[in-house]
Amino acid sequence: MRNVLVLCTIALIYACGSTQTKEAKTNGAGIGGPDGLKAKITQVTSNGNGAFTDATKVEAIMNYLASDELKGRDSGSEGIEMAAAYIEKRFSNQGVVPYFAAFKDTLSNFERPAYNIVGLVEGTDPNLRKEYIVIGAHYDHIGVINAENGDAIANGANDNASGTTTVLEFARYFSQNRTNKRSLVFALFSAEEKGLLGSKHLAKKLKEEEMNLYTMLNFEMTGVPLKGKDYEIYITGYNKSNLAMVSNTYAEEKLVGFLPTAKEYNLFQRSDNYPFHQEFEVPSHTYCTFDFTNFDHYHKVGDEVDIMDFDHMATIINKMIPVVAGIANAETKEIKLN
């Protein structure tokens, strides 16, 4: 999450004192939502316990993306090229197809060769598949930095191998189950750490081709759980739309909450949701579990995979799948800007 380091410091001070052809509802008693939020999806299950993913599957992805071998996934580096190849292979093996001519989409706004990886799971409804949902996360980090105790690799496990893993598991679910009436674009962004460049590039490009974008759902720093909250994840820009209410209705619990600190430090503008908000003026938010108090290793070499909570990550993914499916299958566009 770009520029959070400065915010963390402040918080601690206060605390201490060419495109493929794209024509190609949970049971929603829910929390306080209208009847229009009811939908039906295929039961989220593959391993016999009612859950699609688990800690073991999550850990396997994280162990590669946040490994020393990738040397911190700096944009334009050999390490991020390896991460890109890994993401492409997963997409291809799972039946996700390229949104453009290939999965790699070269950034137009960065001095070194850098790529977003953009896949598509086309919607099943003849009309609704013409509406798109972008589900994104940045897969870059800051690479090799000043050494601490002999370690100079900023592995970026929480920031943002965790969000990338979440998106990869969503892509696996929807490519296997095909429960989405609307079309889902799975976008892994490069150069977020350089100024949201990957998402700026993609948002502009999709706007120029006049994509009918419904909403953009971004995932950032989801590797460790919130503490002392009555919800499990928050969205940035909470009051800018009714996404939290829609999410909680499909989750059938208070899954998504409001983090005052996110509003105080305007995190809405600090991750890859924001360029889509700017270009399309549609509901565009980031889901996150970093709250300035539960993670001390932002942009440091200590952001290692061994301090991630894989059970927490799997829980978030499993609980968010009915949310994404509900949004993708609703007969009308339920998420509205306030």
Mean pLDDT of 280-307: 97
The pLDDT value recorded for residue 1 is 63
Query: pLDDT of 2-53, one tens digit each?
Result: 555 434 433 333 333 333 333 333 333 333 333 443 444 445 444 546 699 9
The pLDDT value recorded for residue 49 is 60
- Mean pLDDT score of the chain: 89
Three-class secondary structure assignment of the chain: CCCHHHHHHHHHHHHHCCCCCCCCCCCCCCCCCCHHHCCCCCCCCCCCCCCCCCHHHHHHHHHHHCCHHHCCCECCCHHHHHHHHHHHHHHHHHCCEECCCCCEEECCCCCCCCEEEEEEECCCCCCHHHCEEEEEEECCECCEEEEECCEEECCCHHHHHHHHHHHHHHHHHHHHHCCCCCEEEEEEECCHHHCCHHHHHHHHHHHHCCCCEEEEEEEECCCCCCCCCCCCEEECCHHHECHHHHHHHHHCCCCEECCHHHHHCCHHHCCCCHHHHHHHCCCEEEEECCCCCCCCCCCCCCCCHHHCCHHHHHHHHHHHHHHHHHHHHCCCCCCCEC
The pLDDT value recorded for residue 2 is 55
When pLDDT is cut at 50, 70 and 90, the band that residue 327 belongs to is very high
The pLDDT value recorded for residue 254 is 98
Query: pLDDT of 112-161, one tens digit each?
Result: 999 999 999 999 999 999 999 999 999 999 999 999 999 999 999 999 99
Query: pLDDT of 213-246, one tens digit each?
Result: 999 999 999 999 999 999 999 999 999 999 999 9
Mean pLDDT of 280-289: 98
Residue 296 pLDDT more than 50? yes
Mean pLDDT of 321-330: 98
Of 260 and 4, the structure prediction assigns the larger pLDDT to 260
Query: pLDDT of 73-108, one tens digit each?
Result: 999 999 999 999 999 999 999 999 999 999 999 999
